[in-house]
């Protein structure tokens, strides 16, 4: 690693981490492992302190490693936080729908079989990403929206006789309003 290179850069002064730490008798592979150990402990901000910088070059390298470590750690933490937050938000929406369903059941004394069907449907609709897809489609420019709709719904308009010889704008408009029904 760079640490071995920096340590051996000015070998004759013996003012480096290799000589100061008593690692001068080690093989290159062992020096490399110590270097990796130091780099990992520095980047993940643990820094055990058993191997440290001695000269200016090593200190500059350590500063760069610490900056890289802090930035990487911050980005990783932010990304993980965002994922968890998004999941919590989605779960909260489902729980809100289920609570509403429970309130309707209690208020109107609905049959258990109907509640079972409603619960199943709410959970199924929640698991689908189709709503996100339709919101995405709405934000597209008109020409791209038509092209995408034609590509997505080509199975429908090629097999249903009604769509034969119809304008592609009409087909794209109508197909986006169709909703699948599972029977």
Report the C-alpha gap between 81 and 87 in whole angstroms.
10
pLDDT tier, 9 (very low <50, low <70, confident <90, very high otherwise): low
pLDDT in tens, 119-149: 888 887 777 655 566 667 777 788 887 788 7
Helices (H) and strands (E) in the chain, counts: 9, 0
Q: Are 66 and 42 in contact (CB under 8 A)?
A: yes
Report the C-alpha gap between 84 and 72 in whole angstroms.
18
Per-domain boundaries in the chain: 2-127, 129-183
What does the block give as tokens for 35? 């270097």
pLDDT tier, 11 (very low <50, low <70, confident <90, very high otherwise): low
CATH of domain 2-127: 1.10.287
The pLDDT of residue 43 is above 80: no
In the chain, beta strands by DSSP E: none
How many residues does the structure list for the chain? 183
| pTM greater than 0.75 | no
Report the C-alpha gap between 1 and 114 in whole angstroms.
66
% the chain with pLDDT above 70: 83
20's CB contacts (< 8 A; 6+ apart) are 14, 54
Q: Provide DSSP, 50-89.
A: SS---SHHHHHHHHHHHHHHHHHHHHHHHHHHHHHHHHHH
Report the C-alpha gap between 145 and 135 in whole angstroms.
11
pLDDT, position 75: 92
- Give the chain's mean pLDDT: 78
Q: Are 168 and 146 in contact (CB under 8 A)?
A: yes
């Amino acid at each position: 690693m760079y640490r071995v290179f920096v340590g051996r850069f000015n070998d004759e002064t013996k003012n480096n981490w290799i000589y100061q730490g008593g690692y001068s008798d080690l093989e290159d592979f062992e020096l490399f492992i110590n270097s990796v150990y130091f780099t990992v402990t520095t980047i993940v901000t643990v820094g055990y302190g058993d191997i440290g910088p001695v000269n200016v070059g090593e200190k500059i390298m350590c500063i760069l490693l610490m900056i890289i470590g802090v930035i990487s750690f911050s980005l990783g933490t932010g990304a993980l936080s965002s994922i968890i937050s998004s999941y919590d938000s989605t779960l909260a929406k489902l729980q809100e729908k289920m609570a509403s369903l429970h309130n309707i059941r209690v208020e109107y004394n609905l049959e258990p079989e109907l509640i079972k069907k409603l619960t199943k449907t709410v959970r199924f609709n929640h698991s689908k990403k189709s709503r996100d897809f339709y919101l995405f489609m709405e934000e597209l420019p008109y020409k791209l929206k038509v092209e995408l709709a034609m590509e997505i719904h080509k199975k429908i308009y090629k097999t249903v006789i009604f769509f034969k010889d119809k304008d592609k704008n009409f087909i794209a408009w109508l197909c986006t309003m169709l909703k699948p029904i599972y029977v």
